[in-house]
């Protein structure tokens, strides 16, 4: 390779590096529970047997839970225990492979019209994260059974961080270090897998770059569209907002807000 070609190649590589690191999305982000809004997000429970329930998350993915107070193998290398303490109270305990223990109490009140979830999670380093959220019943049902919609009321002191890095010359990698989850995606409309020990099987996403600060994304599970998102970085570069439009179960638009740190 002659000197001129070598110099041109070095210049192109340097330019590509500058463009990647100058991308408004690249950097470290921390989830803001105070600025985010889950009002209108829906979940539901179905009775699956004498001592079991099917829990459908916001993506309408079913997770069957045996509620006999005993520890059972989970879906992603974890274990879980579900115990009904009385007619209105259920305890959910999940032990993750990394040693994290998730302890949630779900209590139905207000003549069956309101459900409050209170959680107390212990991390492997001993750190404790707590919070609570409120849900209103939609339609009929007894106990946990039925459809529940988030009211937007609650508190959460947990810390979730995301790291965004360049992927090749024309994409981005979104990583959640604590969950060991990441997705490397290019803006060509093709599906790219979501990878991690707690990721629902068959989860993929495709994305389009609208402009330097805006991405549109479509999320799918087993080929089924579960939501559409607009991800936008503010003009000052300090805030990243995910506006999520669920497509599966009547949930309303919800918002995740991330702050650069």
Question: Rounded distance, CA 55 to CA 46, Å?
Answer: 7
User: How does pLDDT run across 178-212, given as a tens digit for each residue?
Assistant: 888 999 999 999 999 999 988 999 999 999 999 99
**Which range among 13-17, 40-44, 46-50 shows the weakest confidence by mean pLDDT?**
13-17
Q: Residue 19 — very low, low, confident or very high, per pLDDT cuts 50/70/90? A: very low
Average pLDDT over residues 204-222: 97
**Where does the chain hold its CATH 2.40.128.20 domain(s)?**
20-36+159-260
Phi, psi of 6 (to 5 degrees): -65, -40
pLDDT at 13 over 50: no
Cα diameter, the chain: 81
- pLDDT value for 23: 96
C-alpha 166: how far from chain center: 21
CATH superfamily of the 20-36+159-260 domain: Calycin beta-barrel core domain (2.40.128.20)
């Amino acid at each position: 390779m002659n000197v001129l070609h070598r110099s041109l190649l070095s210049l192109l590589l340097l330019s590509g590096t500058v463009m990647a690191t100058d991308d408004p999305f690249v950097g470290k982000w921390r989830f803001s529970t105070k600025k985010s809004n889950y009002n209108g997000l829906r979940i539901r429970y179905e009775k699956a047997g004498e001592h079991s329930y099917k829990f459908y998350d916001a993506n309408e993915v079913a997770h069957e839970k045996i509620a006999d107070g005993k520890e059972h193998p989970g879906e992603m290398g974890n274990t879980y225990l579900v115990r009904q303490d009385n007619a209105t109270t259920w305890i959910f305990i999940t032990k993750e492979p990394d040693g994290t223990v998730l302890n949630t109490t779900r209590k139905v009140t207000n003549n069956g019209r309101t459900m409050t979830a209170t959680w107390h999670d212990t991390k492997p380093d001993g750190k404790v994260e707590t919070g609570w959220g409120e849900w209103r019943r939609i339609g009929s049902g007894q106990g946990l059974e039925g459809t529940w919609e988030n009211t937007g009321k609650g508190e959460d002191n947990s810390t979730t961080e995301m790291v965004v890095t360049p992927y090749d010359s024309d994409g981005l990698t979104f990583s959640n270090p604590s969950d060991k989850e990441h997705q490397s995606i290019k803006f060509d409309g093709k599906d790219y897998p979501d990878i991690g020990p707690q990721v629902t099987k068959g989860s993929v996403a495709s994305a389009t770059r609208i402009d330097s600060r805006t991405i549109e994304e479509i999320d799918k599970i087993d080929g089924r569209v579960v939501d559409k998102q607009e991800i936008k970085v503010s003009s000052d570069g300090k805030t990243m907002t995910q506006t999520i439009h669920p497509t599966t179960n009547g949930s309303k638009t919800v918002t995740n807000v991330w702050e650069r740190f």
